[in-house]
Amino acid sequence: MISRNCLLIANRVLRELRRDYRTLFLFTMSPLFVMILVAGMLVETPRTFDRSGLLVMGLFPTAPGFLFAAFAIQRERYRGSLEFLLSGPVTRLDVLVGYLLAFSVPAVAQVALTVSVSYGLLGLDSAGPWWAAALLAMLACVLGVVLGMFAINLAHNELQLTKVLPTVALPHLMVSGLFLPYEDMPGWMQAAATIAPWRYAVGAVSELHLHSSVTSELVLNLSVTVGIVFALSAVTVGTVLRRRTA
Amino acid sequence: MSESAVRIRDLVVYRGGALVLDGIDLDVAPGTVTGLVGPSGSGKTTLLRCVVGVQKIKSGRVTVLGRPAGTAALRHEVSYLTQSPTVYGDLTVEENVRHFAALYRRSKRDAAIVIERVGLSPKSRQLVRKLSGGQQTRANLACALVAAPRMLVLDEPTVGQDPLLRRELWTHFHNIARAEGTTIVVSSHVMDEAARCDRILLMRTGKIIADDTPEMIRKETQTDDLDEAFLRLIEAPVAVPQV
Dihedral sign computed on CA atoms, order B77, B83, B86, B87:
positive
Which has more confidence, A244 or A55? A55
Question: Which chain A residues are Cβ-neighbours of B102 within 8 angstroms?
Answer: 8
pLDDT at B31: 94
**Is residue B23 exposed (0-12), middle (13-18) or buried (19+ Cβ within 10 Å)?**
middle
The CATH number fitting domain B1-77+150-207, selected from 3.60.130.10, 3.40.50.300, 3.40.50.920, 3.90.920.10: 3.40.50.300
Q: Does B109 touch chain A (CB under 8 A)?
A: no
Q: What is the mean pLDDT of chain A?
A: 90
Mean pLDDT by 10 residues, chain B (243 residues): 84 92 94 91 92 91 92 89 90 96 94 93 95 90 92 89 86 91 90 85 90 87 80 67 50
pLDDT at B222: 85
pLDDT at A152: 85
pLDDT at B238: 54
Of B84, B91, B95, the CB nearest to A80: B84
pLDDT at B1: 44
**Where would I find the H helices in A20-91?**
21-41, 46-59, 62-78, 81-86
Residue B101: how many other CB atoms lie within 10 Å: 24
- Which tens digits make up the pLDDT trace of A60-76? 999 999 989 999 998 88
**Contact flag A79-B84 (C-beta cutoff 8 Å):** yes
Using CA atoms, how far apart are residues A29 and B210, in angstroms rounded to an integer?
A: 61
Mean pLDDT of A151-176: 85
**Contact flag B84-A89 (C-beta cutoff 8 Å):** no
Q: Is the pLDDT of residue A45 over 50?
A: yes
Residue A22: how many other CB atoms lie within 10 Å: 7
pLDDT at B165: 84
DSSP bridge partners of B153: B80, B185
Q: Is the pLDDT of residue A246 over 80?
A: no
pLDDT at B188: 85
Domain ranges of chain B: 1-77+150-207, 87-148
Q: Does B77 touch chain A (CB under 8 A)?
A: no
Using CA atoms, how far apart are residues A100 and A93, in angstroms rounded to an integer?
A: 10
